[in-house]
Structure 1
Amino acid sequence: MELGISMFGDLHIDQVTGKMQSAKQRLKELIEEIKLADELGIDVIGIGEHHRPEYAVPSPEIVLAAAAVVTKNIKLTSSVTVLSSSDPVKLYQNFAMVDLLSDGRAELMAGRGSFTESFPLFGYDLQDYSALFEEKLDLLLEINKNETINWKGRFRAPLENQQVLPRTDNSKLTVWVAAGGTPDSVIRAGRLGLPLVFAIVAGTPLLRFKSLYELYKNTYQQFGHDMAQFQVGMFSHALFGDNSKEIASYYYPLYGAQMDRIGRTRGWFPFQREQYDFGRSREGALFVGDAQETVDKIIYAHELFGITRFSAHLDVGAPSHAHLMKSIEIFGTKIAPKVREALKK
């Protein structure tokens, strides 16, 4: 099982003054954090796309390109790219360049977008939310297979004998699909034989996703795809410390504030301490605690779902750079080695 981290570039907001950290500072911190993850042998780093004031990263591939030249081994993926509001041609070109800069370490994770600010920003209609994703995924996969493209769709001009360059260092780019829990997304990924990662976050019970993992595996097999190539992942919010109680107490105000900022735009009820505490339990999808708690919970998720990749998403609510560096250190030196050793038995 691959063990990775992901971040969105959340900007720290001073709880007293309300002043927001600069994007410049956060981006520089991100590169330091990615360098540390690589040095500690963490398998994957994912960077997400957002177009809101509290995030520093609208284009994950820019951060990944910067990371490509200061790292040696870590895989570099978006987490996620909002494919529905992107141009698949330009997207492939950008990730092909990351792949070349990193000697073949680039991946792309495509999602429909749980945040929708990119749709009006780039001139797309939310009424076409699902149709856009279907069409653009089809084009992206076609480009990934063939250098010269002949393609026609509904939302962009046709491509007639067009070369898409440069090409990746490998035969093709690994394209993952991210899902939030809808059966249609699961079936699509299984039918196409694409790796799938589930975002299981906040206070969500882990068991709620078991049937979806089974649906994906069954669909993947039903359409005749090679189980030797089968990949399925899990993405969950996380933060680690030496003392479980201390890190939980530190993180709750930051995490709760971010959940409420997002929730106010979506009609959510205010985030409650009970949700947070349940999420931290064995059955919940919040990986906040010390190393041994996290090891036990990752192994439990592996047994429950058969995941081949676990991604700890570390910067929701913008914990300090020092806390993020400490979390990465704990993940790389205490959590990942113990999980790997346990899975060998």
Structure 2
Amino acid sequence: MTQVDEARLNELVGRVLTDLGGAVSVPLVRLGDTLGLYDALKRIGPASADELAEATECAPRYLREWLAAQAASGYVRYEHGRFSLTPEQALVFAEPDSPVHLIGAFDTAAAMVENQPKVQSAFKTGRGVAWGDQAGCMFCAVARLFRPGYVNALVQEWLPALEGVVDKLKAGAEVADVGCGHGLSTILMAQAFPKSRFVGYDFHPASIAAATAHALAHGLTNLRFEVGRAQDFEGRDFDLITCFDCLHDMGDPEGAAAHIRKALKDGGTWMVVEPMAGDVLEDNLNPVGRLYYSASTMICIPTSLAQETGLALGAQAGEKRLAEVIRSGGFAHVRRAAQTPLNMVLEAT
């Protein structure tokens, strides 16, 4: 019988207990967001459970238990019988435009758990789970997850990192946002560059309906949304085409690359935003890789396998493999133009 290393065992058990604490926090964080508890704490804290109950019209007994759990997790501060949010905690839980607002990640985790039966079946058959068939509002959760990064980096950092693109956008360019989802990225660009014209394409009709509603709510007239696949959308002669966190989800990303190349004007640019990853597994055995591999197992791989070709790049494909796919479409030059801890921005010309 193999001898057990007690120190290693205790370390593993401690790690698992920490992980379980995070896992069981998912519904509690979502309750806090949906019921406005974090917002109220930010507004009135430090507060007792009774004061928070009065401010949110929630039952005090439930709030006492919720607050205790949040304090034990380090998500709220407890001091002298009262609860509050530190500035750092507020950035994560109560400020939607913060670059580290992570409520969308908790929503995505919940959708992944709900999606387990469908993915579990796919493990046996090898088939995929279509984007529109995944459990819950997966596309809503993912849109919310990516929003803080786009709000804080897209216009301010990513577009300026591309060669000559911002000047074209200021003067008036034709832009396609392929795989636009709920259109958050498209809307941000349209707001920043009113002289340019934008069209968002996505193969999921419900996402296009949501994107159209968002555009109308913002009163924007320089953009529209259409149902269309990356490998055969109808538009042509674009100065810029963008793909945000979606190339690896496509069934036929090589076909998409070839079609995008034909849809660009001479001298046009393709901006590809993808999850940050190294080129080999050893480079991704870290907290970011852990999150992305898990999400890829439950979301990205099933989505790709449900489509034609089903290349299934996965969320941790890495820059080398992504560049191969991009070049297969006829692009001569691919470079990493910018990066964050969670994303890489590739420029293809």
Sort the TM-score into its range (normalised by shorter chain).
Answer: 0.3 to 0.5
TM-score (norm 2): 0.37
TM-score (norm 1): 0.37
Larger radius of gyration: 2
- More helix by percentage: 2
Q: Quick one: higher RCO (CA 8 Å, sep 6+), 1 or 2?
A: 1
